[in-house]
């Protein structure tokens, strides 16, 4: 963690901050809100604040997390909180020697209530001693986008388990099973084989329901010959995976499905082959979009090509029409083109890749159909 703090401090200097405050907009019960806090400190609890200065780092926790913070965040000084933020924030600022300094906070990690509490706490100080609270750029997200070797190894373990869970369940899918039953079978397999949890609620959609990319599974039985989109991911050692496959259960696929599947697969393989470090997120997206558009389905591919994956299943970089992100070695991202047709259904195929030596190495190995 010390190297991460060093990189953070360098970026703080770049943007003119004396201190950096890291929190979360709500209690992180489901491990989806406080990735920056965990990344910097190793703390896995649901509630804490970090305050990092040029020469110190504090973790502020209440009674529930004293022992856990001491164990998981040994590089941080423990600051014990009690009551609401208004009652203890000023003391933390004093202990950190930030009188009159510039404190950056993450706008996505501080609610209006927290901000008002901090302002109230600082109002108790003499005006010439009050530090300035400033919204900061996404410094930690930028650091997290470039994965360390240990992070890539953890992500690969999550990818491998996700692949395994998909294969184990997909071969057992038969007409009559409901979408919800299939989703539950995937989650049970993942948890029984070492997953801490799922990256997100598993998506299983069959037939016309699959025309909605993020539709939720239903208690509706799957019919023979229906295309089934399965989008799933697992968490291992805190890191996520993300995988989508489209299959047909209990019957032969028809000509329309084979046509659309072949277009999506061609688009995906083209993007995986041609995407490279130094490329912009928009340019990467167009590698697949152009294939789909030339086949006559451009309007049916309405989402981005992919997104970063790490402690969260959606993080930097973005591969999309409007993305200004630059792809760099060490980044991990998804490549997931799709075609969605209202009244018919959809096809999406998704792998995870890591950028190494200027190119994308595919991390996912779950089988795809031969259209």
Q: How far apart are CA 99 and CA 292, in angstroms?
A: 57
Q: Which of 88, 117, 143 is the last residue of a domain?
A: 143
Give a yes or no: residue 371 inside a domain: no
The pLDDT value recorded for residue 253 is 86
Q: Which of 143, 177, 210 is the last residue of a domain?
A: 143
Burial string for 305-338 (b: 16+ CB within 10 Å, else e) reads: bbbbbbbbbebbbbbbeebebebeeebbbbbbbb
Domain count, the chain: 2
Share of the chain above pLDDT 90, in %: 96
- The residue range of the domain holding 270 is 146-362
pLDDT digits (tens, 9 = 90+) for 32-61: 999 999 999 999 999 999 999 999 999 999
The pLDDT value recorded for residue 350 is 98
Low-confidence ranges of the chain (pLDDT < 50): none
Q: How far apart are CA 325 and CA 122, in angstroms?
A: 37
Q: Which residues contact 49 (CB under 8 A, 6 or more apart)?
A: 21, 22, 23, 59, 60, 61, 81, 92
β-pair partners for 254: none
The pLDDT value recorded for residue 251 is 74
Element (H, E) at 167: helix 149-170
Regarding whether 337 and 214 lie in a shared domain, the answer is yes
Regarding whether 211 and 235 lie in a shared domain, the answer is yes
Give a yes or no: residue 279 inside a domain: yes
Regarding whether 269 and 150 lie in a shared domain, the answer is yes
The pLDDT value recorded for residue 370 is 72
Regarding whether 273 and 139 lie in a shared domain, the answer is no
Indicate yes or no: pTM above 0.85: yes
Regarding whether 169 and 40 lie in a shared domain, the answer is no
E strand segments, the chain: 19-22, 49-53, 57-61, 77-80, 102-105, 132-135, 197-198, 203-206, 227-232, 234-236, 239-240, 243-248, 306-308, 315-319, 332-335, 338-341, 345-348, 351-356, 359-362
Q: Which of 118, 143, 168 is the last residue of a domain?
A: 143
Residue 308 CA, chain-centre distance (Å), reads 6
Let me know: does 185 contact 179? Beta carbons within 8 Å: no
CATH of the domain at 12: 3.40.350.10
């Amino acid at each position: 963690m010390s190297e991460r703090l060093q990189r953070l401090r360098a970026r703080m200097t770049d943007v003119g901050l004396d201190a950096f405050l890291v929190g979360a907009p709500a209690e992180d019960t489901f491990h989806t809100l406080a990735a920056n806090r965990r990344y910097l400190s190793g703390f896995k609890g649901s509630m804490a604040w970090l305050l990092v200065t040029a020469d110190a780092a504090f973790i502020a926790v209440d009674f529930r997390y004293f022992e856990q913070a001491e164990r998981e965040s040994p590089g941080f000084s423990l600051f014990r909180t009690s009551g609401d933020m208004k009652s203890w924030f000023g003391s933390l600022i004093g202990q950190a020697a930030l009188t009159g300094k510039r404190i950056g906070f993450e706008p996505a990690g501080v609610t209006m209530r927290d901000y008002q509490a901090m302002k109230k706490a600082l109002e108790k100080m003499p005006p010439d001693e009050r530090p300035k609270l400033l919204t900061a750029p996404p410094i930690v997200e930028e650091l997290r986008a470039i994965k360390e070797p240990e992070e890539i190894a953890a992500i690969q373990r999550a990818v491998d388990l996700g692949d395994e869970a998909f294969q184990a369940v997909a071969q057992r899918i038969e007409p009559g099973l409901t979408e919800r039953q299939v989703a539950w079978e995937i989650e049970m397999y993942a948890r029984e084989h070492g997953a801490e949890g799922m990256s997100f609620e598993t998506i299983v959609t069959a037939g016309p329901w699959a025309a909605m990319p993020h539709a939720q599974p239903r208690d509706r039985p799957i019919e023979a010959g229906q295309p089934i989109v399965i989008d799933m991911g697992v968490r291992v050692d805190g890191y996520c995976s993300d995988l989508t496959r489209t299959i047909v259960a209990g019957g032969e696929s028809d000509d329309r499905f084979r046509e659309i599947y072949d277009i999506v697969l061609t688009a995906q393989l083209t993007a995986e082959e041609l995407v490279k470090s130094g490329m912009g997120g928009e340019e990467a997206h167009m590698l697949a979009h152009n294939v789909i558009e030339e086949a006559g389905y451009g309007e049916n591919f309405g989402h981005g090509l992919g997104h970063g994956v790490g402690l969260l299943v959606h993080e930097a970089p973005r591969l999309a029409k409007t993305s200004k992100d630059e792809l760099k070695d060490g980044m991990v991202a998804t490549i997931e083109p799709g075609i969605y047709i209202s009244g018919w259904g959809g096809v999406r195929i998704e792998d995870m890749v890591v950028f190494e030596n200027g190119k994308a190495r595919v991390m996912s190995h779950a089988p795809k159909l031969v259209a």
